[in-house]
Each structure stands twice: as structure tokens, then as C-alpha cells.
């Protein structure tokens, strides 16, 4: 039973355009959401997060949007750059992370020149 779902295994975007990665969750107890970026043979690297009391958080080229009523969040990357090519994981936590993080299966983002 997947509590965090990333329904697109892969996404291809042209350099300079906007990349939008989507994530859905089912557990209404989740109160904090994170996006991680992962290169091959490396551990996940934290990218951006959002608390459930907010609906938007921005950091440079990265913006995360949260729609609590739809249990949906998205990560926007604009403009997309070649170095953004990686696997992106959506993760959720409850109780401030003390239970660990629940991850989606990831979306492989490919930025084409």
C-alpha cells in the first residue's frame, strides 16, 4: 500500500523549460513533505521541503506547491538545466520525522539540450 505515489517513472524536458514533478499521498497524518534528488551511486540529497501549514515554498529555481485538500504536491524547476538530470524522490513525514520518511518510487528527470 503506497502512501506516497509518484506516478511518472520518467520525464523528459528541454533545457531552459519548466520541469514539473508530481506527487500524491494518501495519509492525512503527514505534516511535512520533502523533495530529494539522487544521482547514481550517491545517497539522496535534500532539495526543498514544505510544511503542511503552507501551500508554497520557493528556493531559487525550485518551488514546491502543496494542495492539502487534494493530497497533492508538485516540484517546479525553472529554468531546467542539464545538471538537474537525476531521480527525484518525494518524501513525507509525520511527527516531525521521528518515524522516518515515507518515499515515493521516484521520477527520473532527463533534461535534453
Nine cell digits for residue 53: 501549514
Q: Does 94 bind another protein (CB under 8 A)?
A: no
Task: Kindly tell me which residue out of 4, 48, 75, 86 binds another protein, with binding defined by CB under 8 A.
Answer: 4
Q: Does 100 bind another protein (CB under 8 A)?
A: yes
Where do we find the cell 514544505? 50
Q: Is the peptide bond before 79 cis (omega within 30 degrees of 0)?
A: yes
**Min separation Cβ 102 and another protein, Å:** 7
Residue 98 CA: distances (Å) to CA of 19, 27, 54, 60, 106:
31, 16, 21, 28, 22
Options 12-20, 57-65, 78-86, 97-105: segment touching another protein (CB under 8 A): 97-105
Q: Does 42 bind another protein (CB under 8 A)?
A: yes
CA distance 68 to 54: 9
Q: Which residues bind another protein (CB under 8 A)?
A: 4, 6, 32, 34, 36, 41-46, 49, 89, 91, 93, 96-106
Amino acid at each position: 500500500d503506497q502512501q506516497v505515489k509518484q506516478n511518472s517513472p520518467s520525464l523528459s524536458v528541454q533545457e531552459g523549460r519548466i520541469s514539473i514533478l508530481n506527487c500524491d499521498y494518501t495519509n492525512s497524518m503527514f505534516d511535512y513533505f520533502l523533495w530529494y534528488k539522487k544521482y547514481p551511486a550517491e545517497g539522496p540529497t535534500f532539495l526543498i521541503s514544505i510544511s503542511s501549514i503552507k501551500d508554497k515554498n520557493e528556493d531559487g529555481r525550485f518551488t514546491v506547491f502543496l494542495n492539502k485538500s487534494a493530497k497533492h504536491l508538485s516540484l517546479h524547476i525553472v529554468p531546467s538545466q542539464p545538471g538537474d538530470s537525476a531521480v527525484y524522490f518525494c518524501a513525507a513525514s509525520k511527527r516531525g520525522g521521528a518515524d522516518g520518511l515515507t518515499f515515493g518510487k521516484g521520477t527520473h528527470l532527463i533534461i535534453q539540450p
